[in-house]
Amino acid sequence: MDTLYEYQEEVLAQVSDNFFRGLYHQLNWDERFLGITGLRGIGKTTMLLQYLKYSAPDRKNSLYVTADHPWFYDHSLIDLSRQFRKYGGSLLLIDEIHRYPNWSRELKNIYDGLPELQVVFTASSVLDILTGDADLSRRAISKELTGLSFREYLEIRYQHKFPAITLEQLLQDPGKISQTVLAKLKPIPIFNEYLKNGYFPFSITRSDESFRQLLNQVINTVMEVDLQIVEEYSASNTIKMKKLIGVIAETVPFEPNISKIANRLGLGRDTVKTYLWNLDRARLLNLLSRSSKGVSALQKPDKIFLENSNLSYALKPNPERGTIRETFFVNQLRNANHSVELAKTGDFIIDGKWTFEIGGPSKGTSQISSQKNAFLALDELEHAYQNRIPLWLFGFLY
């Protein structure tokens, strides 16, 4: 175990307390079994290490491991836990649990056999930690970490701190909230930065070119590693999924014709639907429906967006501004745990009661004039007035 402790100290030395994600303060770190899921590169490892370094009540009896560490080539997770507990260990933090074979069964054995050991672990967003081979639904609490909101980007990149707001607060008095921000900065130039490269924390220390290269590596790793591990996809499956996301990136927001896609890729219709669903779970896509029931694994989505605007710039050199606006809006509302559906009149319905039309600063209200509780979310707009709300303000919801 000395090797694991040495590795822990090496990685802890690189962690700072300059910035904490909003979710950090919302989590109940005292949970006996706590899982944190999310897309690669959005800060799960940093959050785990920050807790160990700055908040863990008993650091000397805590241990951080990553599930793909070479130590596990000839040791098991359950054996580590038993030995760790024998020597007084109380908190085990496991990074990338999905990289470990039989992860759910061994976690269940740890939970049942070592009741005094607390476990916090991270996993890919592809992984449903409550539906593995073993039943963890009554044992583990799972929370998802999303990419940076625009509000968080302002803090981590420019040290401008603002509180998160609810959608209800925003709709009630958007003018007051926009004035609070405008008193400290001009948001639109920074918002344009964020749309290109602000969703992932690692962008802060990278040039634009380096960031795009790393982001493409994230995309490839999700498909080549995470989906292969979790869904047991072959290399052939991965190649076809890459082609699928390439087709989508060409024309997002994409209104899918499943039959045409299936013919183009040489796949069955149900296989295409399953691929789309898994790419949504992996947080590479956002699938939207006009149905209040949402999109299920074998249901055709009515429209497909890339999950965040940074992906749009990574996968297509000059994405259309209208696409970027809608991608951002869908992303931030979904990340703030709101239900987002396509509207028959207007663009989106949020939580079944608010209608939104997305557009540029000169966008009119004609498309939503007949709707109650209808608003315009407008790009390149600084000040809110009446039902016209600056698009960037929707980046303050988490």
Local structure of 81: helix, strand or coil? helix
Residues 381 and 315 in one domain: yes
Cα gap 221→75, rounded to integer Å: 25
- What burial letters (b/e) apply to 198-209, b meaning 16+ CB within 10 Å? bbbbbbeeeeee
Return all residues near 23 (Cβ < 8 A) that are at least 6 apart: 36, 47, 143, 145
| pLDDT for the residue 365 | 87
Residue 132 is predicted with a pLDDT of 55
Whether residue 161 is found in the same domain as residue 130: no
Length of the chain, in residues: 398
Nearest to 396 by CA among 343, 327, 329: 329
Identify whether residues 336 and 391 lie together within a single domain: yes
Find the domain containing 118 and state its range: 2-144
**Domain-ending residue, one of 96, 127, 144:** 144
| Residue 182, pLDDT score | 98
pLDDT (0 to 100) of residue 314: 94
What pLDDT, on the 0 to 100 scale, is given for residue 293?
Answer: 64
82/184 same-domain check: no
Structural domain total, the chain: 2
Quick one: 10 and 91 in the same domain?
yes
pLDDT of res. 231: 82
Mean pLDDT over the full length of the chain: 93
Residues 200 and 101 in one domain: no
Helix (H) or strand (E) holding 121: strand 118-124
Residues 235 and 351 both lie in one domain: yes
Considering the domain architecture, whether residues 133 and 162 belong to the same structural domain is answered as no
331 shares a domain with 219: yes
Predicted local confidence at residue 161, as pLDDT = 97
User: Are residue 122 and residue 165 in the same domain, yes or no?
Assistant: no
Q: Where are the alpha helices (DSSP H) in the chain?
A: 2-12, 22-26, 44-50, 77-86, 103-113, 150-158, 167-172, 174-182, 187-197, 208-221, 227-231, 235-251, 258-265, 269-281, 309-315, 321-335
Per-residue pLDDT, 215: 96
Residue 191 pLDDT? 98
One domain, residues 162 and 140: no
User: Which residues of the chain have a pLDDT value below 70?
Assistant: 128-135, 291-298
Rounded to two decimals, what is the model's pTM?
Answer: 0.92
Rounded to whole angstroms, the Cα distance separating 348 from 352 reads 9
Listed residues 112, 144, 176: the one ending a domain:
144
CATH number, domain containing residue 7: 3.40.50.300
Question: Of 144, 159, 185, at which residue does a domain stop?
Answer: 144
| CA separation for the pair 325, 370 (Å, rounded) | 23
For residues 192 and 237, membership in a common domain is answered with yes
